[in-house]
Structure 1
Amino acid sequence: MVPDDDPSRVLTVANPDDPATTYIVGNTYGMLITGEQTNGRYCLIDMRVPDGGGPPPHRHDFEEMFTILEGEVEFTFRGERHLVRAGSTVNIPANAPHNFRNVSGAPARMLCMCTPAGRDEYFTRIGDVVAGSDAPPPQLSPDEQAERRRRAADLASTYRSEFL
Structure 2
Amino acid sequence: MTGLLPRSVAEAEGPAFWFLNNLCIVKATTESTGGAFSMVYQIAAPGHATPYHLHHVEDEAFYVLDGEYTFICDGVKTVVGPGGYMFLPRGIPHGIRASGSVPATMLILATPGTGFVGMMEEMAEPALERVLPKPTKPDLEKLNRLCAKYQIDILGPLPK
> What's the TM-score, normalizing by structure 2?
0.89
**Unaligned regions of 5+ residues in structure 1, if any?**
none
- Runs of 4+ aligned structure 1 residues displaced above 6 Å come to none
Contact 2:37 2:110 in 1 (8 A): yes
- Counting helix residues as a fraction of each chain, which structure ranks higher? 1
Per-residue CA deviations over 1:32-90 (Å, capped at 9, x if unaligned) read: 10111112210000011110012110010211000000011001111111111110110
Q: Percent identity?
A: 22
| 1:63 maps onto 2:59 in alignment | yes
> What's the TM-score, normalizing by structure 1?
0.87
Q: How far did 1:14 drift?
A: 2.1
- Count matched residues: 153
Q: Please, what is the CA RMSD of the aligned residues?
A: 1.5
2-structure distance, mates of 1:78, 1:99: 9
Q: For the pair shown, which has the larger CA radius of gyration, 1 or 2?
A: 1
Contact 2:64 2:107 in 1 (8 A): yes
**In structure 2, the residue corresponding to 1:95 is in which secondary structure?**
coil
Corresponding residue of 1:159: 150
1-structure distance, mates of 2:153, 2:32: 26
Question: In the alignment, which of 11, 31, 55 is matched to residue 16 of structure 1?
Answer: 11
Paired letter, 1:87: G
Contact 1:12 1:33 in 2 (8 A): no
**Unaligned regions of 5+ residues in structure 2, if any?**
156-160
Paired letter, 1:129: P
Per-residue CA deviations over 1:107-134 (Å, capped at 9, x if unaligned) read: 0000000001121111000011113432
Contact 1:16 1:30 in 2 (8 A): no
